Structure 1
């Protein structure tokens, strides 16, 4: 078994879509980034790479490479999942947390879990997505951006429980 932790942060920006877990969330502002800035998929991708000791998404998808400009973050996540399979592992479960003051994302949690399950070919029951605010503290509390954290547990594909 291997465990990985991922963390990502993006600032809010005018004129951008808000994409979380591959789902467009209705909002007047989105997140700034070289890709589509899906902070949740980035945190999960980094957790996967961390579990495999393969660096981070910045190494695999450099933000100074125009090839990755505005890339859909599901492509990043699917690439990371291909490395999981290549190394002979499967995903046991994912636990993740979003922190942002607005908009309220709880109505979208099930759709986000379903999306992630499709990207990773696992059951939505293996995915936990939670959302919180920071009680108006820090840059998240001032509604300047969003944070996501994720933990992933990988098990060898031939592991008998």
Structure 2
């Protein structure tokens, strides 16, 4: 494969490490003339304001709560970040590009429909979903009791095994707009592969 070309001694929190750099024989950087990669990674990020008296759509289900997301669609922040991660992985821009909040046909739309359309676009490019890893940042309510139902719902919409979908929940430790219970944020990383 190669041989060590550099050796560096470093200290980190009082522990000493020896780090080796490797020189790969005949390695050339990827160029535009090479075949596209079989695996691609995308990431998504979204936030939505929360308002009293609205349904709280998250992961394709309504989570019981006094507040819900504000948005042009149903404001399902989890589905939106999944869409953005998949679109990013396939180099297809983002959800706002394809489903503009200025377009009246998407007013109040069920985000599961958007997710289906995104999957069609990704699959038309010859890719399939490897796995998703999403995190929802929300002060309240606690989401852990609802995550299994979200996974079942999303797996059904996407035609995937539930094991390919990871959903985690955390708080912001009472910091920022999430900590003040003014909104919800979410992140997602998606792996897709060529079929």
> Common fold, TM-score beyond 0.5?
yes
Moved runs in structure 1, 4+ residues, more than 2 A? none
Question: What TM-score do you get using the length of structure 2 for normalisation?
Answer: 0.79
Task: String of CA shifts for 1:79-111, please: whole Å, max 9, x gaps.
Answer: 110012111111000000000001111000011
Q: Does 1:146 align with 2:184?
A: yes
2:116 corresponds in structure 1 to 78
Question: What TM-score do you get using the length of structure 1 for normalisation?
Answer: 0.96
Alpha-carbon deviation of 1:15? 2.5
Unpaired runs of 5+ residues, structure 1, are none
Between the two proteins, the alignment pairs up a number of residues equal to: 157
Higher RCO, 1 vs 2 (CA within 8 Å, ≥6 residues apart): 1
Task: String of CA shifts for 1:5-45, please: whole Å, max 9, x gaps.
Answer: 00010010123100100010001110100000000000000
Rg larger in structure: 2
Mapping of residues 102-113 of structure 1, within 5 Å = 102-113=140-151
SS, match of residue 121 in structure 2: helix
Of Structure 1 and Structure 2, which has the larger fraction of its residues in helix?
1
Q: Does 1:12 align with 2:50?
A: yes
Which of residues 94, 99, 104 in structure 2 aligns to 1:61? Answer: 99
